[in-house]
A and B are shown apart, each in its own frame.
Chain A
Amino acid sequence: MRPDLTQPITMDTFLRGIWRENPVFVALLGMCPVLAVTNTATNSLAMGVSTLFVLVCSNMLISMLRHFIPKQVRIATYIVIIATFVTMVDYILQAVSPTVYAALGAFIQLIVVNCIILGRAESYASKNPVLSTAVNSVGMGLGFTLALLMLGSVRELFGMGSLFGVSIFGDSFQPWLVMILPPGGFFVLGAWLLLFAWWRERNVRKAVVEEAVHAR
Chain B
Amino acid sequence: MTDDDYDEALDAVLDPGEDQNVPTHLRRAAERDLETIQRGLALLAEQAHRPIQEPAPGVPAPARPQDSPLPARRTVRSLPQPRRPLRPLLAACIAIAAAIGVTALLRPWHGQQSDVAEGTPRTTQGQGPITAPQPPAGIPSAPPANASSWES
Same complex origin of A and B: no
B→A interface (CB under 8 Å): none
